[in-house]
Amino acid sequence: MQKSLSRSIGMALYIVFLFVPIYWLLNMSFKTNTDILSSLSFLPPHPTLDNYRKIFIDPDWHASFANSISYVLINTVLSVGVALPAAYAFSRYRFIGDKHLFFWLLSNLMAPPAIYAMPFFNLYSAAGLFDSIWAVALAHCLFNVPLAVWILEGFISGIPREIDETAMIDGYSFPRFFVRIFLPLIANGIGVAAFFCFMFSWVEQLLATTLTTVDAKPIAGMMSRAYSAAGLDWGLLSAAGVLTMIPGAIVIWFVRNHIAKGFALGRV
C-alpha cells in the first residue's frame, strides 16, 4: 500500500514537472510583455487576450495556419500512400539488396534538412513550385517516406503471411485483397505512421521557410515576426506557441493508444 502510494505521488510529481513548460507557455500567452519581463508570477497579474486577438484578427496568421495544415496533410497522405506498397514489398519479398536498401532509406533521416535546402530551392524554382504548399509537402517526403516505410514494415510483418495466401486461394485479386483485407488489419500502423509524418512536417522549419515566401508562408515563418531588433514579443510568441500545439494535441489524442507501438516500429 505504502509502495503504491509513493509510486502514485512520484508519478503525479513527474507529470506536474512535465507540464510546467506548457503551463508556463499558457501563462505567458495571457500576460502583457511588461508583466512577462517585470516579475515572476504564476498567474497573469493583468490577464489579457490581446496576444490571441492579434493573431485572430490578422489574415496573415490565418493564412499561415492554413498553409501549414495544408502541406502537412498533403505530405502525410503522400508519405503514407507511397510507403504502404514499399513496406509491403520489404516485408513480404526477398530480393537482391533488400536489406541494404531498407537500411539506406534510413540514411535520409540521418542528414540534417539544412543540406537539402539549397538543392530543393533550385529544383523547385526551376520547376515553378517555389512558394507553393506542394514544394514543402514534397520536400518533407524525403524524411517522412523512409520513416513511414520503417514503421509500416514492422506492422505488416506482424501480420501472418498465411492471411495473404488464404485470400489468394479464396480468389481475391491483389488490389482487392490489399484494400479490403490487409489495410484494415494494419489500420493502427497507418494511423501511427501518419502521426509521425504529421508531427515531423508540422515542426520542421528550415525547409518550410526556405521554400516559401508570401503565398505559402508557414506558421513558423509567421512566428519569426515576433523577433525583432526592437525586442522580442514574448506574449505574441507564447499565444502562437499555444495555438500551434493544438493540432498536434488533437492528433496525439486519436493515436494515444498506439504511440508506444509506433515507437517500437510496430514490433511488440
Partner 1 sequence: MVDRRSVLKGGAALGIAGVTGILKSSPSYAQKMDAAKKWVENEFNPSTLSKDEQMAEMEWFVNAAKPFAGMKLSAVSESLKVHDYESKVLTKAFGEITGIDVNHDIMDEGTLVDKIEVEMQSGRPIYDFWMNDSDFIGTHPRYKDIVGGSLTDFMAGDGKDVTSPTLDLEDFMGLSFGTFTDGKLYQLPDQQFANLYWFRYDWFQRPDLKSRFKSKYGYELGVPVNWSAYEDIADFFTNEVKEIDGQRVYGHMDYGKKDPSLGWRFTDAWLSMAGAGDRGLPNGKPVDEWGIRLENGVPVGSSITRGGDANGPAAVYALTKYIEWLKKYAPPEAAGMDFLESGPVVGQGHVAQQIFWYSAFTDSARSSAAVMNPDGTPKWRMAPSPHGAYWKEGMKLGYQDVGCWTMLKYAPLQNVKAGWLYAQFCTSKTVTLKKALVSLHLIRESDVWHPALTELAPKVGGLVEFYRSPARKQWTPTGVNVPDYGKMAQVWWQNIANAISGQVTPQEAMDGLARDQDAIMARIEKSGVQGPLGPKLNKPETAEYWFAKAEKDGNLAPQRKLANEKPQGETIDYDTLIKSWPSTPPKKS
The residues binding partner 1 (CB under 8 A) are 33-34, 37-38, 117-118, 121-122, 125, 130, 209-210, 213-214, 217, 221, 224-232
Q: What is the closest distance, in whole angstroms, from the C-beta atom of residue 234 to partner 1 in the complex?
A: 9
Q: What is the closest distance, in whole angstroms, from the C-beta atom of residue 233 to partner 1 in the complex?
A: 8
Q: What is the closest distance, in whole angstroms, from the C-beta atom of residue 75 to partner 1 in the complex?
A: 22
Measured from the CB atom, the residue of 56 and 263 that comes closer to partner 1 is: 56
Q: What is the closest distance, in whole angstroms, from the C-beta atom of residue 139 to partner 1 in the complex?
A: 14
Measured from the CB atom, the residue of 194 and 237 that comes closer to partner 1 is: 237
Measured from the CB atom, the residue of 14 and 227 that comes closer to partner 1 is: 227
Q: What is the closest distance, in whole angstroms, from the C-beta atom of residue 107 to partner 1 in the complex?
A: 25
Measured from the CB atom, the residue of 122 and 257 that comes closer to partner 1 is: 122
- DSSP track, the chain: -HHHHHHHHHHHHHHHHHHHHHHHHHHHHTS-HHHHHH---SS-SS---HHHHHHHH-HHHHHHHHHHHHHHHHHHHHHHHHHHHHHHHHHH---TTHHHHHHHHHHHHHS-THHHHHHHHHHHHHHT-TTSHHHHHHHHHHHHHHHHHHHHHHHHHTS-HHHHHHHHHTT--HHHIIIIIIHHHTHHHHHHHHHHHHHHHHH--HHHHHT-SSTT--HHHHHGGGEETTEE-HHHHHHHHHHHHHHHHHHHHHHTTTHHHHHTTT--
Measured from the CB atom, the residue of 16 and 114 that comes closer to partner 1 is: 114
